[in-house]
Amino acid sequence: MNYWLVKSEPEKYAWSDLQRDKQTTWDGVRNFQARNNLQQMRQNDLVLYYHSVSEKSIVGVAKVSQEAFQDPTTPETQWVAVTLVPETAFAKPVTLDQIKKEERLQNIALLRQSRLSVMPLTPEEFDLLLAMGQ
The three-class DSSP label of residue 65 is strand
The pLDDT of residue 77 is 96
The pLDDT of residue 73 is 97
pLDDT along the chain (134 residues), means of 10: 97 98 97 98 98 97 98 97 98 98 97 95 98 96
The pLDDT of residue 123 is 98
The pLDDT of residue 97 is 98
Identify the helix (H) or strand (E) that includes residue 83. Answer: strand 80-95
Can you give the pTM of this predicted structure? 0.96
Burial 92-114 (b: 16+ CB within 10 A, else e): ebbebebbeeeeebeebbbeeee
The pLDDT of residue 18 is 98
The pLDDT of residue 26 is 98
The pLDDT of residue 58 is 98
**What residue segments make up the domains of the chain, in order of their start?**
3-133
CATH class of 3-133: alpha beta
